[in-house]
A and B are shown apart, each in its own frame.
Chain A
């Protein structure tokens, strides 16, 4: 067998390489699974500027600015991030670009790491912007290059939408030998208020331009090689996009296929032609019936979402079942799938992710629980503390939501005098907590905001942010000071504590909680995976341990019960010492390190 010249690339790595080979000079984004690695890979290429922005709106605006200056620019985010960035995005489609601008948005069908499974393809339709949907790393790479070209040719921002199974799958990529080196020069910027200043009179004219552009893009959709037909049996025709195409191909390789890689605007003529040539048409797409609805509007009768579950990602088996159902209903030949799933009905204990041993968040929540307060939560590692035994929060909605929720909650129960708590991570606070703090102070709320400051964006893999003093490309920079910020926003009580000191943390939290108005406590302890300071580990003195179980209330995975006694797994223990505060029998002692 001949040696392959292809490279095995993660989908996100292929997107970054495509952007680089397309000559992109600037990239911005905010970390979010499954999109995070794109910008990290991109940042390592020579002569590019790559930046983590405080949030997706800032990222999009910065990338748009780079495009106006004449550079090809990339902006990356997860699906919910596009909610944040949607304001500049939608209007920038009116204004158009100078250098090519590609917005990569990563959806998460099945919610592997997300709070919802919204379908970003709606944003293409909302903003009237073209969208590519790669099915594997090869397409991710090739479509990135084409998306930049298209962006400049049609003078529009372009969406590239991936899903978890495209972003986090590795497949072989044949890399273009010709890299667009001519793109290293910035395109000329010319002042053009009619195009770039979206006051109503200009915007009305630009809306017309958008509609004309959309007409032109309909022709592009018919001829782009990313939309193509593979003729097979005429009994079943499958229209599919993204990785769902491969699930369908796995389930029924004999069928005819219309594979859509450029999905807004749709190639209506191609769809009509395909539908005419096959007896049954099945649309296979993850999440919402976006293609299905538009194809039905063409007057074409198709099978679709009635055959699929409304929640979660697709699999080859789910597609196979849908195909069997069609064959059963229509009495046509049955395709033989031949997969026989085997049953195992035994009990397997679940293994959920947990806060790491030595995580400062655990200590903070343990102490906070004593206040018996309502706690509005947020997005980050600390959301894991919602599980037993900490049961730490009442809500988790979106980035920054906790502070706003706590404020509104406090306002309507004001007569009770009860203070409401909001917990928020450092990166999340910078993302969208600051305006919430300003709102709470301005509107005289009764809120305690706890900033869980672990000095990094931990959940997505330790990205720097504006309060870390480091940039994505490793430069030193100004370090946002939470204390000064909170004071200047008008918080009445501001204090920083180390959550490894449980007594001091409890004292400060109580003070802050009892002070009427808006108080801010910064619980600062670097992420233990990022920067472990304590040496050695702790052990349990079995003679002193009474088996009372107090230490188990922390929910530390390094502490467990063996018979009547508590045991510390010294392989996992990071010597944070939190359990020593809980033990009333002095049964926990330090060992190893400087003990």
Chain B
């Protein structure tokens, strides 16, 4: 199997690292070599954050070469735009419709881009998910990251939804309520796209 490459983009505090660790765990359990690289430190104070996840028979670079990323998950509406040049031609793009205007936008020094849907569509098969709303329905707005993971599971090759769910249980081991909410959020994200595609 060719190495699969995923970028998770978002804002500090949205649970970016949790999603990448869950995918990494599940990919490792599925017998693949895995590499993840993450943003730590300075970027956590409300700045842009991202993770890159790669898995396959043998993974060399933790950094994804530009043009090689098959899956882009944007936990915030515009954050995915920063990573378009990394996408391969047949990319799947999953975008949360939640908007968090960056500070320069809040104070009127910059504008939040328009026609974002169209831009994403030019770069691949783009799907838009009301992740925050679905997460609230599942029990907590904080599970929006897992809604997006559920949506990704519709497309991800090599790692099954079952492996992802068992990785969620491992990641949040000992916190029954959190597991319950997150598994529900996962299903909501997954079935949202089923409805959409059907």
Instruction: Using CB atoms and an 8 Å cutoff, list the residues of chain A in contact with chain B.
Output: 1-4, 6-8, 33-34, 37, 112-113, 136, 165, 168-172, 243, 246-247, 249-251, 253, 315-317, 320, 339-344, 346-356, 381, 384, 388-389, 459-461, 552, 555, 557, 559-561
Closest to B52 in A: A169
Closest 9 CB pairs of A and B: A560-B106, A33-B41, A353-B45, A1-B31, A353-B47, A341-B66, A113-B41, A349-B110, A351-B102
* Assembly CA distance A343 to B65 (angstroms): 14
CB contacts (< 8 Å) of A34 on chain B: these are 40-41
* Assembly CA distance A253 to B84 (angstroms): 26
Question: Contact between A316 and B63 (Cβ–Cβ < 8 Å)?
Answer: yes
Question: Contact between A339 and B67 (Cβ–Cβ < 8 Å)?
Answer: yes
Question: Contact between B67 and A354 (Cβ–Cβ < 8 Å)?
Answer: no
Q: Is B101 in the interface zone, CB < 8 Å from A? A: yes
Q: What is the CB-to-nearest-CB distance from B121 to chain A, in angstroms, rounded to a whole number?
A: 13
With A1-B31, A346-B119, A353-B42 given, name 9 new contacts (CB 8 A).
A170-B21, A172-B28, A172-B33, A343-B85, A344-B81, A348-B78, A353-B45, A353-B46, A460-B41
CB contacts (< 8 Å) of B65 on chain A: these are 250-251, 315-317, 320, 339
Question: Contact between B81 and A557 (Cβ–Cβ < 8 Å)?
Answer: no
Q: Is B125 in the interface zone, CB < 8 Å from A? A: no
**Known A341-B67, A347-B113: A561·B84 in contact at CB below 8 Å:** no
Question: Contact between B30 and A170 (Cβ–Cβ < 8 Å)?
Answer: no
Q: What is the CB-to-nearest-CB distance from B7 to chain A, in angstroms, rounded to a whole number?
A: 13
Q: Which of A7, A346, A351, A352 has the most CB of B within 10 A?
A: A351
Choose among A33, A381, A561 the residue that contacts B108 (Cβ–Cβ < 8 A).
A561
Question: Contact between A356 and B31 (Cβ–Cβ < 8 Å)?
Answer: no
* Assembly CA distance A34 to B29 (angstroms): 28
Q: What is the CB-to-nearest-CB distance from A555 to chain B, in angstroms, rounded to a whole number?
A: 8
Choose among B36, B78, B123 the residue that contacts A342 (Cβ–Cβ < 8 A).
B123
Q: Is B87 in the interface zone, CB < 8 Å from A? A: yes
**Known A3-B29, A169-B36, A384-B45: A247·B61 in contact at CB below 8 Å:** yes
Q: List 29 A-B contacts (CB under 8 A).
A: A4-B32, A8-B24, A8-B28, A8-B36, A33-B42, A34-B40, A112-B42, A112-B43, A165-B63, A170-B35, A249-B61, A250-B61, A316-B60, A320-B65, A339-B65, A339-B68, A341-B85, A342-B123, A346-B113, A349-B101, A351-B79, A353-B12, A354-B46, A354-B47, A355-B45, A356-B46, A459-B41, A552-B107, A561-B108
Q: What is the CB-to-nearest-CB distance from B69 to chain A, in angstroms, rounded to a whole number?
A: 10
* Assembly CA distance A136 to B35 (angstroms): 9
Question: Contact between A6 and B28 (Cβ–Cβ < 8 Å)?
Answer: yes
Question: Contact between B103 and A352 (Cβ–Cβ < 8 Å)?
Answer: yes
Question: Contact between A561 and B107 (Cβ–Cβ < 8 Å)?
Answer: yes
Within 8 A of A (CB), among B54-82: 59-63, 65-68, 78-79, 81-82
Question: Contact between B68 and A246 (Cβ–Cβ < 8 Å)?
Answer: no
Number of interface residues of B (CB under 8 A): 59
Q: What is the CB-to-nearest-CB distance from A31 to chain B, in angstroms, rounded to a whole number?
A: 10
Instruction: Using CB atoms and an 8 Å cutoff, list the residues of chain B in contact with chain A.
Output: 11-12, 21, 24-25, 28-48, 59-63, 65-68, 78-79, 81-82, 84-87, 89, 101-113, 119, 123
* Assembly CA distance A243 to B52 (angstroms): 15
Question: Contact between B85 and A342 (Cβ–Cβ < 8 Å)?
Answer: yes
CB contacts (< 8 Å) of B61 on chain A: these are 243, 246-247, 249-250, 316
CB contacts (< 8 Å) of B36 on chain A: these are 8, 169-171
* Assembly CA distance A287 to B136 (angstroms): 46
Q: What is the CB-to-nearest-CB distance from B60 to chain A, in angstroms, rounded to a whole number?
A: 4
* Assembly CA distance A578 to B46 (angstroms): 20
CB contacts (< 8 Å) of B119 on chain A: these are 344, 346
**Known A348-B82, A349-B102: A170·B63 in contact at CB below 8 Å:** no
Q: What is the CB-to-nearest-CB distance from B97 to chain A, in angstroms, rounded to a whole number?
A: 17
Question: Contact between B102 and A169 (Cβ–Cβ < 8 Å)?
Answer: no
Choose among B42, B48, B60, B112 the residue that contacts A249 (Cβ–Cβ < 8 A).
B60
Q: What is the CB-to-nearest-CB distance from A20 to chain B, in angstroms, rounded to a whole number?
A: 21
Question: Contact between A349 and B105 (Cβ–Cβ < 8 Å)?
Answer: yes
Closest to B107 in A: A552
CB contacts (< 8 Å) of B63 on chain A: these are 165, 247, 315-316
* Assembly CA distance A53 to B85 (angstroms): 43
Closest to B44 in A: A353
Q: What is the CB-to-nearest-CB distance from A520 to chain B, in angstroms, rounded to a whole number?
A: 27
Q: What is the CB-to-nearest-CB distance from B102 to chain A, in angstroms, rounded to a whole number?
A: 4
Question: Contact between A33 and B40 (Cβ–Cβ < 8 Å)?
Answer: yes
CB contacts (< 8 Å) of A33 on chain B: these are 40-42
Choose among A3, A341, A388 the residue that contacts B31 (Cβ–Cβ < 8 A).
A3
* Assembly CA distance A267 to B42 (angstroms): 38
Q: What is the CB-to-nearest-CB distance from A348 to chain B, in angstroms, rounded to a whole number?
A: 5
Q: What is the CB-to-nearest-CB distance from A166 to chain B, in angstroms, rounded to a whole number?
A: 9
* Assembly CA distance A148 to B133 (angstroms): 52
* Assembly CA distance A356 to B87 (angstroms): 32
Question: Contact between B34 and A170 (Cβ–Cβ < 8 Å)?
Answer: yes
Q: What is the CB-to-nearest-CB distance from B168 to chain A, in angstroms, rounded to a whole number?
A: 15
Closest to B87 in A: A342
CB contacts (< 8 Å) of B12 on chain A: these are 353
Question: Contact between B28 and A4 (Cβ–Cβ < 8 Å)?
Answer: yes
* Assembly CA distance A423 to B118 (angstroms): 47
* Assembly CA distance A247 to B34 (angstroms): 15
* Assembly CA distance A317 to B85 (angstroms): 12
* Assembly CA distance A352 to B48 (angstroms): 7
Closest to A340 in B: B67
**Known A4-B29, A171-B35, A349-B110: A246·B60 in contact at CB below 8 Å:** yes
* Assembly CA distance A350 to B11 (angstroms): 12
**Known A169-B36, A250-B61: A352·B47 in contact at CB below 8 Å:** yes
* Assembly CA distance A552 to B42 (angstroms): 23
* Assembly CA distance A266 to B11 (angstroms): 43
* Assembly CA distance A249 to B3 (angstroms): 14
Closest to A245 in B: B60
Closest to A37 in B: B40
CB contacts (< 8 Å) of B79 on chain A: these are 351
Question: Contact between A2 and B102 (Cβ–Cβ < 8 Å)?
Answer: no
Q: What is the CB-to-nearest-CB distance from A249 to chain B, in angstroms, rounded to a whole number?
A: 4
* Assembly CA distance A249 to B82 (angstroms): 26
